[in-house]
Amino acid sequence: MLFVLAPLLPAVGGILVSVLKMEDRARHVYYLLLLAVTDVLALSAAFLGGAGGTVTLLHFSEKVTLAFGMDTVGKVFLLAVCALYTAAVIYSFQYMQMEDRENVFFAFTFVSMGAMIAVCEAANLATVYFAFETATLSTVPMVLHDRTKAAVAAGMKYLFYSMGGALLGLLGVFFVYAYAGDSAAFAPGGFLDMAKAAGHENLLRGVILAAIIGFGTKAGMYPMHGWLPAAHPIAPAPASALLSGIIAKAGIIAVIRLVFFSVGADFIRGTFVQYTWLTLALLTVFMGSMMAFREKVTKKRLAYSTVSQISYIMVGLAFLSPDGIVGALLHVLQHVASKGTLFLAAGVFIFKLHSHHVDELKGIGKKMPITMWCFMFAALSLVGIPPFGGFTSKWYLASAAIESGLSVYGILAPVVLLISALLTAGYLFPIVIDAFFPGKEEAEPERKAGKRGRQPEKEEAASLEPSPLMWGPLIALSILALLVGVFGRGIADALAAELTQLF
């Protein structure tokens, strides 16, 4: 029952609280209560609700069911979902004061939270696909929130890319089920019936590659990455944090479930599927970093960074090795914390200064010390500086590459990851340096009028920091990025012990 209640409660509760007439303060209290209960239910389902068991909600056919369960991979992603949604919702209580239709934003936020919990709990590919599509449809209105021409264009681009990718993913689901054994429930090493697949291996592998690219659309993998830099600058900052930090990772979950729990890593190891997947992922890492380095709009720079950083995860998965998947899951956790912090910090710049470009952030370190220190910690983690989480995850990714036995990729992957880390430092560290050391000739940051003519509120000259509702989540996520690094070895050992059965 917990497996069903955990995704259902936020979706239904978020809509009900949003449509009822009440004052904003009272509505926020109900949202906070709903958030707390959802977190407790979801984590209880993960760690207390019948480990190894599944709950089947609907039967569409003998093999196609809507079923929920939980394993190690699901727990990792569920922790990430709860952490980032909790931070983003609390942050939004103040940030969304500058936006219209606040209740509509929160309604879709909670529906998408339910969908992401369902993705984490899915016990078969059909359930993953259903929850994956629900997550897409519930997040399109978050991109469209401003209802401007630019917002509509970005929302439609996000929708069309996602639909195209989902159709490729659905093609893979059809073929995998067609060649499944007696059961289509997830199993370590896959559930394919090799007798059925005999003589059709290359066809099935081609479809699997198409499905990886399709699900990779949500993760921003080339060539289906175009929606990310279009949607992020338009969406409200907490929506951008969710899209980048966790919703884009719905594609990562789908790929893991397809490759490691449906068809099995051995089926594609050493084939054109693995080599093409690695090539596209490494290309995306480099391309995203280069585009971020050149970009001047703060949120768009972070969006291109997401294109690059999520493909780090794809690179790890594509090596089809224990170190690869451990490094990928560690990078999931650190990226949730780091990129969540960066996008929420960018939202503070918009909310307090109405600054959208990196050139407008010089000298703000003295006015926003908490925000900029959190931004710096997240940047250190994203670059991969010890003891932050990015160092640990990249260590395992590089180890997976070197030990893969793939001569070209074993050398190329660490080189690309290193170049990307240098580019990441190149597009994040100057923001921090200019914020704290702008030079004597730089004037104090100018505070501009916001959209719809809203003027910045009067504050003491000594500080432009927002309330704890905004900087509290920044601190919490920054600490999480540090903890992933400090305890990275222990987390990695625990993951490796649980995931060895996949290989």
pLDDT tens profile 343-356 = 999 999 999 988 88
List the alpha helices (DSSP H) in 179-262.
194-197, 201-218, 227-231, 237-245, 250-258
pLDDT level of residue 458 (50, 70, 90 thresholds): very low
Phi, psi values for residue 270, rounded to 5° = 75, 10
pLDDT level of residue 442 (50, 70, 90 thresholds): low
- Mean pLDDT for the stretch of residues 444-469: 58
Cβ partners under 8 Å of residue 216, min gap 6: 165, 224, 251, 255, 280, 314
Name which of 317, 335, 315, 318 is nearest 326 in CA terms: 317
For 72-108, the pLDDT digits (tens) are: 999 999 999 999 999 999 999 999 988 888 999 999 9
Residue 323 · residue 290 · CB < 8 Å? no
What DSSP character marks residue 98? G
Collapsing DSSP to helix, strand or coil, 362 comes out as: coil
Top pLDDT among 145 and 427 is at 427
- Mean pLDDT for the stretch of residues 335-341: 95
Q: pLDDT at position 454, please?
A: 45
pLDDT level of residue 459 (50, 70, 90 thresholds): very low
Give, in order, the Cα–Cα distances in Å from 337 to each of 44, 53, 128, 327. 22, 30, 24, 16
Residue 313 · residue 332 · CB < 8 Å? yes
User: Bridge-partner residues for 67, per DSSP?
Assistant: 56
- pTM comes to 0.92
Q: pLDDT at position 85, please?
A: 97
AA identity, residue 97: Q
User: Bridge-partner residues for 385, per DSSP?
Assistant: none
Residue 330 · residue 388 · CB < 8 Å? no
Longest dimension (CA), the chain: 74
Collapsing DSSP to helix, strand or coil, 101 comes out as: coil
pLDDT level of residue 295 (50, 70, 90 thresholds): very high
Give, in order, the Cα–Cα distances in Å from 178 to each of 173, 174, 199, 225. 9, 6, 14, 29
Q: pLDDT at position 462, please?
A: 57
AA identity, residue 102: E
How many angstroms separate the CA atoms of 142 and 107, rounded?
10
How many angstroms separate the CA atoms of 225 and 310, rounded?
11
Place of tokens 């198409």: 210
Say if residue 132 is exposed, middle or buried (CB neighbours under 10 Å; 0-12, 13-18, 19+). Answer: buried
Q: Give the number of other CB atoms < 10 A from CB of residue 181.
A: 15
3-state helix, strand, coil in the chain (%, to 5): 75, 5, 25
How many angstroms separate the CA atoms of 166 and 135, rounded?
11
Beta strand 65-69 pairing with 54-59: antiparallel
How many angstroms separate the CA atoms of 145 and 35, rounded?
21
- Mean pLDDT for the stretch of residues 282-288: 95
Q: pLDDT at position 52, please?
A: 52
Name which of 248, 302, 329 is nearest 424 in CA terms: 302
Q: What share of the chain in percent tops pLDDT 70?
A: 95
Look over the chain and give the mean of its residue pLDDT values, rounded to a whole number: 90
For 219-268, the pLDDT digits (tens) are: 889 888 888 888 878 889 999 999 999 999 999 999 999 999 999 999 99
AA identity, residue 34: L
Collapsing DSSP to helix, strand or coil, 386 comes out as: coil
Cβ partners under 8 Å of residue 493, min gap 6: none
Q: pLDDT at position 151, please?
A: 87
Q: pLDDT at position 445, please?
A: 52
Q: pLDDT at position 50, please?
A: 53
Assess whether pLDDT exceeds 60 at residue 497.
yes
Q: What is the CA radius of gyration of the chain?
A: 22
Q: pLDDT at position 440, please?
A: 66
Q: What share of the chain in percent tops pLDDT 90?
A: 70
- Mean pLDDT for the stretch of residues 107-115: 95
Q: pLDDT at position 456, please?
A: 45
Q: pLDDT at position 457, please?
A: 45
Residue 462 · residue 368 · CB < 8 Å? no
pLDDT level of residue 448 (50, 70, 90 thresholds): low
User: Bridge-partner residues for 266, per DSSP?
Assistant: none
